Amino acid sequence: MDADAIEEGRRRWQARYDAARKRDADFTTLSGDPVEPVYGPRPGDRYEGFERIGWPGEYPFTRGLYPTGYRGRTWTIRQFAGFGNAEQTNERYKMILAAGGGGLSVAFDMPTLMGRDSDDPRSLGEVGHCGVAIDSAADMDVLFRDIPLGDVTTSMTISGPAVPVFCMYLVAAERQGVDPSVLNGTLQTDIFKEYIAQKEWLFQPEPHLRLIGDLMEYCAAGIPAYKPLSVSGYHIREAGATAAQELAYTLADGFGYVELGLSRGLDVDVFAPGLSFFFDAHVDFFEEIAKFRAARRIWARWMRDVYGAKTEKAQWLRFHTQTAGVSLTAQQPYNNVVRTAVEALAAVLGGTNSLHTNALDETLALPSEQAAEIALRTQQVLMEETGVANVADPLGGSWYVEQLTDRIEADAEKIFDQIKERGLRAHPDGQHPIGPITSGILRGIEDGWFTGEIAESAFRYQQALEKGDKKVVGVNVHTGSVTGDLEILRVSHEVEREQVRLLRERKSARDEARVRTALDGMVAAARSGANMIDPMLDAVRAEATLGEICGVLRDEWGVYTEPAGF
């Protein structure tokens, strides 16, 4: 790009920066020297390929979504939390908010994630262990007691039973007297990554996609700020994928949901702002920063050029980041604080919109209160002390970071081609029921391609670790230690007994005929093809349980079993 075009872009950026609201904060170095909100080529310099980098707040958004970077608003500190029963988790949320957490993020226990009630025989021993147990809307009321849902953005990490859990959240808001249309938050919902990596699905892909389409339609029509999907690379990376695989599979999944929305006749400029993303921040600092920058650029280009998105918001890739759970070690666990800080810094330098920092004990158990506090403070140290929020995309223009960004983008494009090619194998006539990328994803799920590719990468890394080519402090290098054992959080089995007792008490107090009628209404909608959210809301209002709602749908649609493969 020639010098004049670069200067014209700078003037455009400056006008938008001047007009935007900034935080009331000191934007100087620790020594008191002024810093610019963004840096670019020196006046008069040419820069080959600058159109791919650009200025913050404009297409292709490599350098971030906002002209102000974090000067307008810092990232959201959103610590993922949940354990025991709704009462205990509610206490933890109030602690997080009082300590400066910016939003909530609900972790559910395994029975809830699988759409089972706490008294289901399969739930035995799991209730309240890896997250909070939620059986019905009554639990959701307790979970958010004294937390005004209209004022706090709430993320819920659940995908198989995402839609009934969303209905419980809506009903909890209704019972707080909050108008559902003002709700803001995120539901994970991403079923593609369940088949690809996390393995927590309920049905075959098709009924899940139908429910997701219903949800997208419902939110686009009535809850404009809500993000019904958090398309997730985190679990794909944690399963052993490389950075480029994480990026490409996740963005492809995002394209799949765009194709789903389009196939339902929705307007891309209306529903696309509801698609958000979720990535892992692993420990290779620069590779991660490049991944985040490439993610925004690829998404904006595909949304504009392939799917016809016209508005900026529909071209934006907004993402949450979690530091890499898989990088934590049980050996010398205090080192995990350092790893997490480095990973969090990469996320921030990559322009994350929201961030979770892992606690040092998370490889052993759910975080203790003390470990949770250190994790939160890690973000606050970055935000308040280090000056990283002063300048947008401070690594933009680094030869290393720009070349890594280009390389990851090129690798991702090759993977998109492989996915499209799989789609064509499934539908050689080019007649795709939802869209070409979706056909490729479904084919890759069915024939175990994604799982195989990830396993291959995980195997290569493990071999490198065992040979000592890749090093992990405390594991295969520098193994001696003087630190003792950690105090870890233990969830008592009493929680399960009490949750089961409460569930039975609530079930015996409800109007059974109303529950039955509502569940029948849901099944009728499942058969007729009507949008399922309203009948599901009726079932939730009648205190039908999550297990009952998912149970009738399992009876209707059947369950999915993964094909075995090598």
Ligand X SMILES: CC(C)(COP(=O)(O)OP(=O)(O)OC[C@H]1O[C@@H](n2cnc3c(N)ncnc32)[C@H](O)[C@@H]1OP(=O)(O)O)[C@@H](O)C(=O)NCCC(=O)NCCSC(=O)CCC(=O)O
Q: Which residues bind ligand X (CB under 6 A)?
A: 66, 68, 72-73, 76, 78, 80, 103, 105, 153, 155, 157, 186, 225, 227, 230, 234, 276, 278, 318-320, 322, 325, 353-354
Radius of gyration of the chain (CA): 24
109 or 548, CB closer to ligand X?
Answer: 109
**Smallest distance from the beta carbon of 484 to ligand X, in angstroms?**
26
Residue 324: burial class (beta carbons within 10 Å; 0-12, 13-18, 19+): buried
CA pair distance 494, 517, nearest whole angstrom? 34
193 or 507, CB closer to ligand X?
Answer: 193
**Smallest distance from the beta carbon of 77 to ligand X, in angstroms?**
9
CA pair distance 351, 348, nearest whole angstrom? 5
Residue 469: burial class (beta carbons within 10 Å; 0-12, 13-18, 19+): exposed
**Smallest distance from the beta carbon of 82 to ligand X, in angstroms?**
10
40 or 56, CB closer to ligand X?
Answer: 56
1 or 191, CB closer to ligand X?
Answer: 191
Nearest position to ligand X, beta carbon: 72
**Smallest distance from the beta carbon of 276 to ligand X, in angstroms?**
3
Q: Which residues pair with 280 in a beta bridge?
A: 322
**Smallest distance from the beta carbon of 352 to ligand X, in angstroms?**
8
**Smallest distance from the beta carbon of 168 to ligand X, in angstroms?**
18
276 or 545, CB closer to ligand X?
Answer: 276
23 or 471, CB closer to ligand X?
Answer: 23
In angstroms, how far is the first alpha carbon of the chain from the final one?
A: 49
* Length of the chain as a residue count: 566
**Smallest distance from the beta carbon of 445 to ligand X, in angstroms?**
19
CA pair distance 457, 237, nearest whole angstrom? 10
**Smallest distance from the beta carbon of 328 to ligand X, in angstroms?**
10
**Smallest distance from the beta carbon of 367 to ligand X, in angstroms?**
11
Q: How many C-beta atoms surround the C-beta of residue 171 within 10 A?
A: 23
Residue 481 tokens read as 């230690």
170 or 539, CB closer to ligand X?
Answer: 170
264 or 320, CB closer to ligand X?
Answer: 320
CA pair distance 122, 124, nearest whole angstrom? 6
Helix (H, G, I), strand (E, B) or coil at 232: strand
User: At a CB cut-off of 8 Å and minimum separation 6, what does 95 contact?
Assistant: 369
Cβ pair 276, 157 in contact under 8 A: no
235 or 264, CB closer to ligand X?
Answer: 235
Whole-angstrom CA distances from 76 to 289, 334, 352 are 18, 25, 9
Phi, psi of 565 (to 5 degrees): -160, 160
CA pair distance 35, 391, nearest whole angstrom? 7
